[in-house]
Amino acid sequence: MSDETRMSRRRFVQSSALAVAFSLGTSAKTTVATTQEELPGSLEDNPELDSWIVIRDERVTVYTGKVELGQGIKTSLVQISADELDVDVDRIDLITAETERTPDEGYTAGSQSMEDSGTAITYAAAEVRQILLEAAADELDAEADQLSVDDGTVTDGNGNETTYWEIATEEALAGEASADVEPKPADEKEIVGEAMSRIDVPGKVLGEPSYVQDLRDTADVRGGVTIRDLPEEEIDARDEHEAQELLHGRVVRPSGYEAELESVDDEAVLEMEGVREVVRDGNFLGVVAETEWQAIQAREELVDAAEWSVEETLPGRENLWEHLREDEVDETIAEDEGNAEDALEDAAETLEAEYRRPYQMHASIGPSCAVAEIVADDQERELNVWTHSQGVYPLREALIELFEDEQMDDVRCTHLEGSGCYGHNGADDVAGDAALLSDAVDGQPVRVQWMREDEHRWEPYGSAMIMEVQGGLDDDGTIVGWDYDVWSYPHSTRPPGQPLLGGRQRENGIELRENDPIPLPTGGGTRNSIPLYEFENTRVTHHFLPEPDVRVSALRALGGYANVFALESFVDELAAAADADPVEFRLDHLEDERGREVIETAADAADWGDRELDDDQGMGIGFAQYKNLSAYCAVVAEVTVDDDSGEVTVDRAVAADDSGEIVNPDGVRQQIWGGIIQSASWTLYEDVDFDEEGPLDDDWSDYPIMTFPDVPEVEVELVDRPGEPYLGTGETSQGPTAAAIANAVSDAVDARVRQLPITAERVEDAME
Amino acid sequence: MSTNENDPFSILKDGDRGFERLTTQEEGDETEEVEETIEFELNGEDVTFDGDPEKPLLYVLRNDAELNGPKFGCGLAQCGSCDVIVDGETAISCVVTVDDVEGSEVTTTRGLGTRDDPHPVQEAFIDTQAAQCGYCIHGMVMEAVVLLEDNPDPSDDEIRDALADNLCRCGTHPEIMAAVRQAAEEMN
Ligand code: FES
Ligand code: FES
């Protein structure tokens, strides 16, 4: 790639970044039905072919704006590109989200990566291949459709050949995509659909540097480029701004959300070995030291040295449910089909129930981490940030806002992996912290990792929710009326929609902005609130609570987890009232063929109806199509409920999943297994405790998650749909799992727990 | 080991120059902090640490020796992501001090094997794809190695027990179990 093409891509991505600035208040990009003129996936916003694929020096560089979160996206995108271009997978160099070099694809969220980036790369690669074939046809004096390609070598079948590397020119591949070239039909694909080992796994298992936590020398990776990628002149030039020693920072945050820093007696801290700076800016407090251990010790001292006055702004966990119903609300009808009210009045039998989901954590195993430095000369100041944020472009906007009052000429964000995040955790906030601390030490690189209690107390949680539902059956036991109300705080407060924590806490802090609900069809609190079943009369009302008091944001599956828990629990309650088998009952109300197939497949695989269970065991099913427009998943859970204690163990979970065309079956399986286990943990154990000031859970003893002895056996049947669009898999199984467990508990002990988590105590209460 | 040439995706540089660092004085030692010289064996090499003997082993390994395997997860002996092997037993390096390992043999994944010559447990983890984000995996590998030394043919329940104190949030438990089973078979 010449400097020119590099420049053009840079200009291009930067202008598109400006266009999205501050329009990302709610979760970024969604696939809505595409109109004729739109290009597929993220090509629509990033149509230049060479913003996706560059061929140079016998290698193929593929750029994606999505990031690896442990979901295996890198591997899937390599598979797609190699297959479509007819090159070996080893020839592909994949560059993930960097503001300098990759397309802006917003956040890596909502299980959209395959739909957005996978689709864009598929079409871009098909078109690049076609352009190259036409050039080869000229060269070989043949017809393009007579040629075949093997690892970039093009042959005409008569012994004449050329290669991509000889014929690829920058000009030829610099145009805009037309998407007129159809990708390969499913039966011609050789790499897509086959299991491929994840390219990031060996390094992680061998202890090679794999995470932002492992970044030690920023000069090595400035601008996302490794030293070995640079021409010699640039390495020399680089020596001029010789790498500066990496410093370590830690932040000190108060015990509650709304607090004033009254005073800090930092004398003792400043005298500690290695301490470079105590940074106080309004209510933002941090320390920078030479080594990580020094920074941690200094932070501990600083915690004691700081006096805060903390306001009481929260209801406390005891008053949560009343508070949700009383808080400021913005009410909308999400769905109104037929006449639910009349239908319920006329029904032969009606039932009603209220379900609850508390605040729950992302609870990443590794606390959030970032490295920041400010490179300055006489004219310019540039902030470089290495981050495990889910969105480097949105973070860039938030960092620009953070330094609005200071000169900052450019901000570059480069993604490096972190610990799994499962949504919006502390990743972005810690990047802001690192930037502020670096600024306080003249831009020297600073690595900040949150302590365990920072992550537990300050990450934005998944919103608490109430789901209230009324259903009516006719004489035949068919559901004829359904009236559903959901109360929820926002499910995305991602930056730059909301400011970074450090930005809020600084002197003259940035004010919080208004929150808007994420609109349907994807929805936030409304996600999966509309039943996929054919109920003639359905009303769904969303009580959106725009002003959260507890810090909330996107947690895997958003409102879909709690809505599917409620909806699918209630379907079982109605099935019981109708004296029907839960699987049959669902199929009787469902026309969607793909939905029916996953329900039947999961039931079969689990031996539904035939399996021998002990008296204290039960079986239950849950089903959903994620967001009502993405992957289909049904889960059958088998549980044991301890007679004495009421304690629930999930023994086995059997799922069936339809994620459209499968790129990497191992990857899909792993996402479903992982989703089931994480959801089982939420469903049985997790409930954030908080008082009037703030969260109270500091660590894993306060907020336990599922561990090995309690992990169920998991199985998944994959329904492959070659030729159908890719549907993301990361968030399909959580809702169905919660409902399946609740339904299995009810099957085991004939008692219904409607409040998450399903604790021993709640089971006991329900049994009484 | 150099940057892994086969992995064009890693933009991070490997950091094995740490052993030299281990032997150099920590800076800024004008305070009355106790400094000691502590000798131990790290991944098969004799190393000397000069500095605060109370420093948790985790930071000596990550920051002085520049090893990437052991991770900071909690600093409270609750999650296992910092696990290492000390004299054949797993040790929680976020609470064990460097002083505690004086004269001991300390092993991290880096001491077990390399890309060209991985330990059977590492090979099994790679083979069964036992990592999503992978942040917990170093600790899991350490526990598995020690378990299989003691008990070459563990039952599923024994594997679960051995890993009970190691948290994984991604739900990679089934693959991790499979990896330990496969390693047991290979090693027998
Ligand atoms: S970091 Fe040592 S146990 Fe969590
Ligand atoms: S693989 Fe992510 S925490 Fe275990």
Give me chain B's average pLDDT, please: 87
Which amino acid is present at B181?
R
Residue B121 C-alpha to ligand 1 middle, in angstroms? 21
Rounded to the nearest angstrom, the distance between the alpha carbon of B75 and the centre of ligand 1 is 5
Residues of A in contact with B169 (CB under 8 A): 363-365, 419-420, 422, 678, 705
A372, A474: one domain: no
Q: Give the strand order in the sheet containing B45-51.
A: B45-51, B36-42, B105-107, B83-86, B89-92
By Cβ distance, the residue of B73, B125, B175 closest to A670 is B175
Which chain A residues are Cβ-neighbours of B11 within 8 angstroms? Answer: 220-221, 224-226, 414, 416
Residues B121 and B69: beta-carbon distance below 8 Å: no
Closest CA to A198 of B167, B176, B2, B7: B7
Residues of B within 8 A of A386 (CB-CB) are none
Residue B34's pLDDT is: 67
- Looking at the fold, whether B105 and B26 belong to one and the same domain comes out as yes
User: Which residue does chain A place closest to B72, by CA atoms?
Assistant: A366
Judge if A482 and A515 occupy the same domain. yes
Are both B149 and B179 inside the same structural domain? yes
Looking at the predicted structure, is the pLDDT value of residue B20 above 60? no
- Return the CATH number at B29: 3.10.20.30
Q: Are residues A127 and A194 in the same domain?
A: yes
* Nearest CB neighbour to A273, from listed B3, B31, B108: B31
Average pLDDT per run of 10 along chain A, which is 768 residues long? 35 31 31 57 94 94 91 90 95 92 89 87 95 95 94 94 93 91 92 89 93 86 46 49 82 96 97 97 98 98 98 97 95 97 98 98 98 91 95 97 92 95 97 98 97 98 98 97 98 97 96 95 97 96 97 97 98 98 98 98 97 97 97 98 96 97 91 97 98 98 98 98 90 98 97 98 95
Ligand nearest to the CA of A677: 2
Contact list in A for residue B134 (CB cut-off 8 A) is 70, 200-201, 204-205, 210
Residue B151 lies in a domain: yes
Cβ–Cβ pairs < 8 A, chains A and B? 227
Q: Tell me, yes or no, whether A239 lies in a domain.
A: no
Say how many C-beta atoms besides its own lie within 10 A of residue A681's C-beta. 23
Cβ of B167 below 6 Å from ligand 2: no
Classify residue A501: in a domain, yes or no. yes
Query: Residue A378 has what pLDDT?
Result: 83
Whether B34 and B105 share a structural domain: yes
Q: Is the CB of B57 under 6 A from ligand 1?
A: no
Q: Are residues A398 and A335 in the same domain?
A: no
Residue B8 lies in a domain: no
Identify which of A654, A676, A651, A650 has the alpha carbon closest to the alpha carbon of residue A729: A676
For residue B152, the enclosing domain spans 120-187
Of A400, A427, A458, the residue that ends a domain is: A458
A458, A480, A507: which is the final residue of a domain? Answer: A458
Q: State how far the Cα of A143 lies from the Cα of A141, in Å rounded to an integer.
A: 7
> Has residue A627 been placed in a domain?
yes
Q: Which residues contact A271 (CB under 8 A, 6 or more apart)?
A: B31
Decide: A344 and A303 in contact? Cβ < 8 Å. no
Last residue of a domain, one of A412, A442, A458: A458
- Identify which of B140, B138, B148 has the alpha carbon closest to the alpha carbon of residue B182: B148
**Any idea which ligand is nearest the CA of B138?**
2
**Is A316 part of any domain?**
no
Ligand 1 atom nearest B71 alpha carbon: 1
* Rounded-to-integer distance, Cα A330 and Cα A327, Å: 10
B45 and B90 share a domain?
Answer: yes
Query: Exposure of A37 by Cβ count < 10 A (0-12 exposed, 13-18 middle, 19+ buried)?
Result: exposed
Chain centroid, CA A81 distance in Å: 23
**Could you give phi then psi for residue A635, rounded to 5 degrees?**
-130, 135
| CATH number of the domain encompassing residue B181 | 1.10.150.120
Closest CA to A640 of A610, A620, A622, A621: A620
In the chain, the amino acid numbered A205 is V
Q: Measured between CB atoms, which of B28, B134, B171 is closest to A210?
A: B134
Pocket test for ligand 2, best of B71, B74, B163, B170 (most atoms within 8 A of CB): B170
CB contact under 8 A, A200 and B134: yes
pLDDT at A4: 35
A205 in reach of chain B (CB within 8 A): yes
Burial (CB < 10 A; 0-12, 13-18, 19+), residue A516, is middle
CB atoms within 10 A of CB A113: 29
Give me the pLDDT at residue A68, please: 87
Put simply, the chain A residues between 408 and 447 with a CB less than 8 A from any chain B CB are: 414, 416-420, 422
C-alpha to C-alpha distance for A577 and A607, rounded to whole angstroms: 24
Q: Which listed ligand is nearest to B61 at the C-alpha?
A: 1
Looking at the complex, does the CB of residue A215 fall below 8 Å from at least one CB of chain B?
A: yes
Q: Residues of A with CB below 8 A from B142's CB?
A: none
Task: State the Cα–Cα distance between residues B128 and A713, nearest whole angstrom.
Answer: 16
Of B56, B79, B110, the residue at which a domain comes to its end is B110
Q: Are residues A665 and A713 in the same domain?
A: yes
A366 closest CB neighbour out of B110, B135, B165: B135
Dihedral class, residue A309 (left if φ above 0, else alpha if ψ from -120 to 50, else beta): beta
pTM for the structure as a whole: 0.91
Number of domains in chain B: 2
Q: Are A192 and A79 in contact (CB under 8 A)?
A: yes
Q: Which residues numbered 728-767 in A keep a CB inside 8 Å of some CB on B?
A: none
Co-location of B22 and B97 in the same domain: yes
pLDDT of residue B188: 84
Judge if B105 and B175 occupy the same domain: no
- Residues A289, A416 share a domain: yes
The rounded Å distance from CA B141 to ligand 1 centre is 15
Q: Do A38 and A77 belong together in one domain? A: yes
Nearest-CA distance B103 → chain A (Å): 22
Kindly identify which residue of chain A lies nearest to residue B107, measuring between CA atoms. A207
Q: Is the C-beta atom of B74 inside 6 A of ligand 1?
A: yes
Ligand 1 atom having least distance to the Cα of B93: 2
Is residue B157, in this structure, part of any structural domain at all?
A: yes
Query: What does chain A come to in residues?
Result: 768
List, in sequence order, every residue forming a beta bridge with B50; answer none if it has no partner.
Answer: B37
Give a yes or no: residue B2 inside a domain: no
Ligand at shortest distance from the CA of A365: 2
Which residue in chain A is spatially nearest to B59 when comparing CA positions? A293
Same-domain status, A528 and A663: yes
A446-449 and A369-376 as β-strands: parallel, antiparallel, unpaired?
antiparallel
Residues B97, B140 within the same domain: no
Least Cα distance to B62 among B24, B100, B94 occurs for B94
Residues A498/A514, Cβ–Cβ less than 8 Å = no
Domain assignment present for residue B135? The answer is yes
* The pLDDT of residue B46 is above 70: yes
B96 located within any domain: yes
Restricting to A residues 84-113, those with a Cβ less than 8 Å away from any Cβ of B are 93-94
List CB contacts (< 8 A) between A716 and chain B: none
Amino acid, single-letter form, for residue A462: G
Domain finish residue from B57, B87, B110: B110
- B1 part of a folded domain: no
**A747: left (phi > 0), else alpha (psi -120 to 50), else beta?**
alpha
In a shared domain, residues B105 and B31: yes
Verify that B82 and B57 share a domain, yes or no: yes
Question: Ligand 2 centre from A366 Cα, in Å?
Answer: 9
ipTM for the assembly: 0.91
- Characterize the bridge pairing of strands A92-95 and A59-63: parallel
Are the CB atoms for A428 and A367 separated by under 8 Å?
no
Which residues, at least 6 apart from A448, have a Cβ–Cβ distance to it below 8 Å?
Answer: A248, A249, A250, A251, A286, A369, A370, A371, A372, A430, A433, A434, A437
Task: Indicate which atom in ligand 2 lies nearest the CA of residue A366.
Answer: 3
The answer to whether residues A353 and A739 touch, using CB atoms and an 8 Å cutoff, is no
The closest-lying atom of ligand 2 relative to the alpha carbon of residue B134 is 1
Assess A655–B contact: CB distance below 8 Å, yes or no.
no
pLDDT of residue A219: 72
User: Which residue's CA is the nearest one to ligand 2's atom 3?
Assistant: B168
Q: How far is CA A505 from CA A221, A447, B6, B128, in A?
A: 30, 20, 44, 45
Residue A242 lies inside a defined structural domain of this protein: no
Q: How far apart are CA A649 and CA A418, in angstroms?
A: 31
Residue-level pLDDT at A220: 63
Give every CB contact of residue A760 below 8 A, 6+ residues apart in sequence. A642, A645, A646, A647, A648
Contact between chains at B68 and A271 (C-beta distance less than 8 A): no
The C-alpha of B130 sits at a distance from chain A's nearest C-alpha, in angstroms, of 8
Structural domain count of chain A: 3
**Residue B29 sits in the same domain as residue B99:** yes
Pick the ligand that lies closest to the CA of residue B71. Answer: 1
- Residue B4 in any domain: the answer is no
Q: Is A139 helix (H, G, I), strand (E, B) or coil?
A: helix
Q: Check whether residue B104 and residue B23 sit in a common domain.
A: yes
B73 lines ligand 1 (CB under 6 A): yes
Q: Domain of residue A125: give its range.
A: 9-198
* Element at A718 (helix H, strand E): strand A713-718
Listed residues B89, B110, B131: the one ending a domain: B110
Is residue A368 domain-shared with residue A354, that is, in the same domain? no
Q: Are residues A351 and A377 in the same domain?
A: no
Q: State whether B133 and A292 contact (CB < 8 Å).
A: no
> Whose CA is closest to A635, among A612, A615, A619?
A619
Question: Nearest-CA neighbor of B125 among B186, B62, B68?
Answer: B186
Query: What is the DSSP-derived secondary structure letter of residue A116?
Result: I
Q: Counting beta carbons within 10 angstroms of the beta carbon of residue A15, is it exposed (0 to 12), middle (13 to 18) or buried (19 or more)?
A: exposed
Domain with residue A396: its CATH number is 3.30.365.10
Clarify whether residues A524 and A601 are in a common domain: yes
B42 and B81 in a common domain: yes
Instruction: Please work out whether the CB of residue B72 comes within 6 Å of at least one atom of ligand 1.
Output: yes
Answer whether A71 sits within 8 Å of B132, measured CB to CB.
Answer: yes
Residues of B in contact with A650 (CB under 8 A): none
Is the same domain home to A397 and A538? Answer: no
